[in-house]
Amino acid sequence: MKYFAEVRGRRFECEVEVENSETFVQVNGTRYRVDLEHVAATGAYSLLVDGRSFEFALHDHGEDYELAGAAGSFRVRVEDERTRAARDVVASAGGPKGPHKIKSAMPGIVRELRVAVGDQVAKGQALMILEAMKMQNEIKSPQDGVVGEMAVEEGQAVDARDRLFVISNTK
Q: Is 114 exposed, middle or buried (0-12, 13-18, 19+ CB in 10 A)?
A: middle
Quick one: 101 and 144 in the same domain?
Answer: yes
Dihedrals phi, psi of 111, to nearest 5 degrees: -95, -35
Which of 54, 81, 108 lies at the terminal end of a domain, its last residue?
Answer: 81
List, for residues 2-33, the tens digit of each pLDDT value: 889 999 889 999 999 999 989 999 999 999 99
Tell me whether residue 22 is in a domain: yes
Residues 6+ apart with CB under 8 A from 6: 12, 76, 77
List, for residues 132-142, the tens digit of each pLDDT value: 767 788 888 88
Domain count, the chain: 2
Q: Has this prediction a pTM greater than 0.85?
A: no
Give the structural domain span for 52: 2-81
